[in-house]
Chain A
């Protein structure tokens, strides 16, 4: 039997952690784009699109991410497309992220006083101009801290992709455990790496929030 040193374990985990980072970025950027589109749809559209976005958010916030991953994994196969854990994980996490981000941002837009919209209308700006020049510059400032904070949730969410066979940090931990029989050390290292990844972002989000409140 091969002996594994602590460095062997850490090195392999670090290599796998790259995929945690890549998957998080894909989900965050993709989810941000879809979330922004949903936000515009909700603000702009009529009652039906309003209900659609509300239902979408309820659906993704009210069901386990793990089930969403399974459904994406087996659902894509139903269309006769060769599915891969990569694609299924990226798709499910993007949709999940978009639902949360659109809800966070909706709250930020809602906190802009009505008078701002009315003022923009009275300047004869059309809807997109109202958003672009009046509402979004103010809403963005409020939206940054919770959005950064949600990035932590996305990174932690990618750990579930391990269950459908995507090899990232957690899956690598399981594989290394099966080879080394040292679950305590391996999972402690895995947890520590997630912590090193997430804690600075949490702290950053907190400091952004403090600054925002201080300025008011």
Chain B
């Protein structure tokens, strides 16, 4: 058993590009998926009955099917309906849809923990519904569920390794490309895995830092 990590590391520009694509996919889908989650959480707790039902169905459908099937359905299935998507866009769409559903449930848990009195206090200050939601209810709710939301974003980032299967040029795709060139499959995947681990740890740190700073203020 001999290893040749040098042969893989010599291809570092590919790995770097792949890692950057993975970071980009994650950043976009975290922002949009988070927004979808906040909007759907509002719809599911405050919206009219039919909207609650639609959002509830969306959440359950996504949470009870594998990400890879969602991705294949979007990338291979939707073109039949005349929707043609690039691999990158299909990946982002699948990640947004996926994260959105989980974020809905997570944010909703935070919303439900808001004391009734706070909303009444805001109403008595003549704030409108939009301000009550965005200024009074949402920030403490996000603060409460931020650790769960952070974990979910990391899970989505790790899950995005599947996107290489539809030829999105992410980190897993780079590893695949390298092993098809030099047949060092184990080494290529081991190095890619190590980079994923680094990305996961780094992403967690960034989110822990960014949440209090930009979303809900320090305690």
Q: Is A174 touching B72 in the complex (CB atoms < 8 A)?
A: yes
B197 touches A74 (CB 8 A): no
What are the nearest 9 A-B pairs in CB distance? A159-B66, A64-B161, A183-B76, A198-B64, A184-B77, A156-B66, A187-B73, A62-B200, A67-B193
Contacts of B73 in A (CB 8 A): 183-184, 187-188, 190-191
Beta-carbon contact of B193 and A63 below 8 Å: yes
Q: Is the CB of B201 within 8 A of A202?
A: no
Residues on B with beta carbons closer than 8 Å to the beta carbon of A186? 77
B69 near A194 with CB under 8 A, answer: yes
Interchain CB contact under 8 A, B186 and A74: yes
- Say yes or no: A173 contacts B69, CB within 8 Å: yes
Q: What is the CB-to-nearest-CB distance from A191 to chain B, in angstroms, rounded to a whole number?
A: 5
Pick the residue among B60, B72, B154, B161 that contacts A187 (CB under 8 A): B72
Alpha-carbon separation in the docked complex, A184 to B159 (Å): 22
Q: B162 is contacted by which of A71, A160, A190 (Cβ under 8 Å)? A: A160
Q: A63-B197, A183-B76, A194-B65 are in contact. Are A199 and B60 (CB under 8 A)?
A: yes
Residue of A nearest to B72 (CB): A187
B15 to chain A, nearest CB (A): 13
Task: State A81–B146 Cα separation when bound (angstroms).
Answer: 45
**B60 to chain A: closest residue by CB:** A199
User: Contact at A67–B201, with CB atoms within 8 Å?
Assistant: no
Given contacts A184-B77, A184-B81, A187-B69, contact A63 B186 (CB under 8 A): no
Partner of A62, one of B64, B69, B197: B197
Residue interface bits B107-150, CB-to-A below 8 A is 1, else 0: 00000000000000000000000000000000000000000000
Inter-chain contacts of A74 with B (CB < 8 A): 185-186, 189
- With the chains together, A184 CA to B79 CA distance in Å? 8
Given contacts A62-B196, A170-B69, A190-B73, 9 further A-B contacts (CB under 8 A): A63-B200, A71-B190, A152-B63, A159-B66, A159-B67, A163-B162, A190-B69, A195-B65, A202-B63
Interface residues of A toward B: which range?
A: 35 or more
Q: How far, in angstroms, from A187 to B159 measured CA to CA in the complex?
A: 19
- Residues of B whose CB lies within 8 Å of any CB of A are 1, 60-61, 63-70, 72-73, 76-81, 154, 158-162, 165, 172, 175, 185-186, 189-190, 192-193, 196-197, 200-201
| Chain A residues within 8 Å of B, Cβ to Cβ | 59, 62-68, 70-71, 74-75, 77-79, 152, 156-157, 159-160, 162-163, 170, 173-174, 177, 182-184, 186-188, 190-191, 194-195, 198-199, 202
Known: A78-B1, A184-B81. A68 touches B193 (CB 8 A): yes
Chain B contacts for A173, CB-based, 8 A: 69, 72
Which residues from chain A contact B78 at a C-beta distance below 8 Å?
A: 184
Chain B interface main SS type: helix
Which residue of A has the minimal Cβ distance to B64? A198
B64 near A59 with CB under 8 A, answer no
Q: What B residues does A156 contact at CB under 8 A?
A: 64-67
A174–B1 Cα distance when bound, in Å, is: 35
Task: Give Cα A162–Cα B67 distance, bound, in whole angstroms.
Answer: 13
16 CB < 8 A contacts A-B: A62-B200, A63-B158, A63-B196, A64-B158, A64-B172, A64-B196, A74-B186, A78-B1, A78-B186, A157-B66, A170-B66, A183-B72, A183-B77, A183-B79, A191-B73, A194-B66
- Pairwise interchain contact B68-A162, C-beta atoms closer than 8 A: yes
A66 contacts B200, CB within 8 Å?
no
